[in-house]
Structure 1
Amino acid sequence: MHHAHSHPRRLALIDMGTNTFHLLIVEMPTTPGQPPVVVLRTKAGVRLGEGGISQGIIAPAAYDRALHTLAGFKEEMELHAVTEVRATATSAMRVTKNGPDLVREIFEQTGIQVNVIPGEREAELICQGVRQAVDLGEESQLIMDIGGGSVEFIIANQATIFWKQSFEIGAQRLLDMFFPDPSGVFPAAAVEAEQQYLGTMLTPLIEAVRQYRPVGIVGASGSFDSLADMQLGQLRTEAELPPCTELALESFQSSYRHLLGGNHEQRKALPGILPMRADMLVVATVLIDFVLGITEITRIRTSAYALKEGLLAEMLAV
């Protein structure tokens, strides 16, 4: 007698950020309440915002890198017998003139329908994802995700989001504004200029922090992963990162000094650094330092989970 055999439901989650594209493939549980099994977790440095985001376009080279990366993701999905896909795109696709063209071309070439989401929704999903990796507890925490195009700040505990906002001040934009000479050193004047700018742009955050008094920072994004790698002194793949890492304040300060003190080549040689991220990390750590300054927080944790895990958690909760 022939038994009907249902094929496992395999889901691909794609998060198309301004710097990095992420692909997570999971097998959905057949028994309710079981966690999904991770089949593949990978990422690609696409730098979608490079050479264009500050002008409101995706540059031709970045556009091609995006199509090439998605073609690669499509191959992985076929290889791992994926049955459904959720693809989201954020800042770079939201604000660029040719973002919609790229969405259309991705669909034509791969059949993947990309959903461009607003900043508020992005913040919500990031918080959901972080909660899967970090126990936020009762007291409010400040979650921050430093993207290439936008930065999300969320003040939340394990149960409630108290405040959230997305700011278009991502690392690629900060790089374009304050670090036009990537060959060199990041001068004190540039640090000063970036801090001044952040002080102006982040007024709503400063007020929210005063109101909700978060006791810790939880960082989710490549910059925080890099700082956790620097603390360890080795570069890890996406799959090797633990869900949550305590980032010692001394370690952050030491990494920050090293990043600011060096030139481009010296930065790239630092243990735990992805060369692609070296310069971005400089403007990102200035931002983290600024936030430490306005909050006077001393505890930093990093979350390896963000938007795509939030999406998955939401789908499982339904």
Structure 2
Amino acid sequence: MTKRLALIDMGTNTFHLLITEVAANGNRTDFVKTKLPVRLGQGGISKGTIAPEAYERALKTLKDFRKQIDEYNVETVRAMATSMVRNASNGEDFIKDIYKQTDIQVEVIDGAREAELIYYGVRSAGVLDEQTSLIMDIGGGSVEFILCNNHEISWKQSFEVGAQRLMDNFFTADPIPDAQVAAEKQFLAEQLQPLTEAVARYKPARLVGASGTFDTLCDIDALSRGDNTRQLSQPAASALEVADYYKIHQQLLHKTHEERLAIPGMLEMRVDMIVLASILVDFVLETYQLQEIRVSAYALKEGVLAQALQTM
């Protein structure tokens, strides 16, 4: 028996749609896999509200998603909203408007549930093993950290330090001034104190980056070596050498918007936010002395899929 599902991840920066069909033997056929820079947090995240322009962009995107879902005669639709919607004063009205205009019922998930679903998604990418890993998923609104192995979660927490929030606070000039890099790291040291304590306890062997920023870092790294197969094949699991990451990080810190946009592999929707996200990656590698980076192309929506398949 096959099952056709549509999974929507309404992130603070990017909306994802996955339309897939899963056979009884677990084989998967993806019909639609798209990500769009809706920027739900733009202009409102620091005020705790979804700004009117972002509200309209999101509704338009979800109407387009609805058309594609109907074209493929999907039986089951699961839509998840995260940090931006759960913290916005007009989040409830937004969810009601989505249902009225698209007939899509959105689940607003809390940070702990988001972290758990990310874990299941990452685990299904095959990047975890018996050793303890630190998963990091950098969103626009929140960042999820999970200490785990391929069997279980030891510790998880969501922090409201996503790239759009960091950008609003620290991106005062372009290229970013050294003083602002230091200020962001100081802020992270304070905000991530619970993570620091958990890392000391569970001693992860590596960092596992989930989707988004890390996909782009891997694309830039591959293209810098003349390897264009990655963007065609989009592997579920990748590795990124720490030294190669730091080469890219230095470019991100010292280039302007236009110069970053010219880097092969850079996505326009990530060109500014990736600077703040990369400072966060640097902070985590340096503070917790991690010498290995693995990357999972799977995250939240694949976690929802993995759990949905268990009930098939």
User: What is the CA distance between 1:75 and its match in structure 2?
Assistant: 1.2
- 1:199 maps to a residue whose letter is A
1:136 to partner: Cα distance:
1.1
1:37 Cα offset (Å): 2.2
Alignment coverage as a number of residue pairs: 308
Q: CA RMSD in A?
A: 1.6
**Counterpart-to-counterpart distance in 1, 2:55 and 2:64:** 14
Give the CA deviation at 1:76: 1.0
Instruction: Check the 8 A contact 1:147/1:221 in 2, yes or no.
Output: no
1:34: Cα distance to partner?
A: 2.6
Aligned to 1:262: 255
Aligned twin of 1:211: 201
Distance between the aligned counterparts of 2:209 and 2:269, measured in 1?
19
Residue in structure 2 matched with residue 274 of structure 1 by the alignment: 267
Q: Distance in 1 between matches of 2:218 and 2:32?
A: 22
Q: After TM superposition, which residue ranges in structure 1, 4 or more long, deviate above 6 angstroms?
A: 234-239
Residues 194-236 of structure 1, C-alpha deviation per residue, up to 9 Å, x if partnerless?
0000000010111111110000111013111110111012899
Query: Structure 2 counterpart of 1:16, which letter?
Result: M
1:127 paired residue number: 119
In 1, distance between residues paired with 2:234 and 2:52? 32
Match for 1:100 among 74, 77, 92? 92
Distance 1:119 1:198, change over 3 A: same
The equivalent of 1:87 in structure 2 is 79
- State the Cα deviation string for residues 270-292 of structure 1 (Å, max 9, x = none): 11101221110000000000000
Q: 1:277 to 1:237 in 2, by over 3 A?
A: farther
In structure 1, what is the Cα distance between the partners aligned to 2:200 and 2:3?
A: 46
1:266-313 C-alpha deviation (Å, 9 max, x unpaired)? 111111101221110000000000000111111101111001111111
Do the aligned residues in 1 keep the contact of 2:115 with 2:156 (CA within 8 Å)?
Answer: yes
Please point out which of 272, 290, 295 is paired with 2:288. Answer: 295
1:233 is paired with a residue of what secondary structure?
Answer: helix
TM-score (ref. length: structure 1): 0.93
1:229 match: secondary structure: helix
Q: Could you tell me how far apart the structure 2 residues matched to 1:317 and 1:9 are?
A: 12
Pick the aligned partner of 1:243 from 236, 245, 257: 236
Once the two structures are TM-superposed, the CA of residue 237 in structure 1 deviates from its matched residue by: 9.8
Distance (whole Å) between structure 2 residues aligned to residue 238 and residue 72 of structure 1: 25
The residue identity in structure 2 corresponding to 1:66 is A
Deviation at residue 28 of structure 1 after TM alignment = 2.8
Counterparts of 1:280 and 1:238, CA distance in 2: 21
Unmatched 5+ residue regions in structure 1?
Answer: 1-5
Question: Are 2:4 and 1:10 equivalent residues in the alignment?
Answer: yes
Task: Indicate conservation of the 8 Å contact 2:219/2:231, yes or no.
Answer: no
SS of 2:272's partner is helix
